[in-house]
Amino acid sequence: MTETTDSPSNHATADLIDAHGSEIDSCHTQFRQFGRHRSFCGPVRTVRCHEDNGLVKEILNSAGHGAVLVVDGGGSVRSALLGDLIAAAAVDNGWSGVVIHGAVRDSATLETLDLGVKALGTNPRKSDKDGAGRVDVPVTFGGVTFNPGQWLYSDEDGIVVSATQL
């Protein structure tokens, strides 16, 4: 059987670490999977915010061009930074995934969406929408600094980040 070269299945994180371990970083945060896409990859965009998802909503409502939005919510699970409506907008706008160092809600619906979603956990409480935070700045968690423009590969085993597309 022939597999296409851009299939995420060719980018198992364990294989990437075995092949490129000294050049790529592996995030040690233990995320849960939420979206229907268990394997996803793409160039990194970032948001840093705290219990306010105004910027997350704005960015995921703009064209994603196959990118992965990495949201550093400071690890707070006191409110959700993503729910089903914003996630559906991300699908419509061509994002491949969202990694949230924080919480999501509407998790049953997230399971049905053609999107990769990783987050620490869930909380039904919604976040503020003041738009406080920063866009496309380096963000750090799980021993990894995620820089806009790097490539992120995610699957059931974890998340790895490379300076270039692998």
Ligand X SMILES: O=C([O-])CC(=O)C(=O)O
Cβ-contact 86, 58 below 8 angstroms:
no
> Does the protein bind ligand X through residue 113 (CB under 6 A)?
no
Binding mask 124-143 for ligand X (x = CB under 6 A): --xx----------------
By CB under 6 A, name the one of 15, 58, 84, 136 that touches ligand X: 84
Using CB atoms, what's the residue nearest to ligand X? Answer: 83
Choose the stretch contacting ligand X; rule: CB under 6 A; options: 23-31, 35-43, 80-88, 140-148: 80-88
Give the residue with the Cβ less far from ligand X, 85 or 163.
85
Binding mask 27-66 for ligand X (x = CB under 6 A): --------------------------x-------------
**Cα–Cα distance list, 30 to 27, 41, 78, 102 (Å):** 8, 18, 18, 12
- Closest CB 121 distance from ligand X, rounded Å: 15
Give the residue with the Cβ less far from ligand X, 38 or 126.
126
Q: What angle do CA 65, 25, 88 make, to 5 degrees?
A: 30
Q: Residue type for 122, please?
A: T
Give the residue with the Cβ less far from ligand X, 12 or 135.
135
| Pairwise CA distance, residues 82 & 56, whole Å | 8
List interacting residues with ligand X (CB under 6 A).
Answer: 53, 80, 82-86, 105-106, 126-127
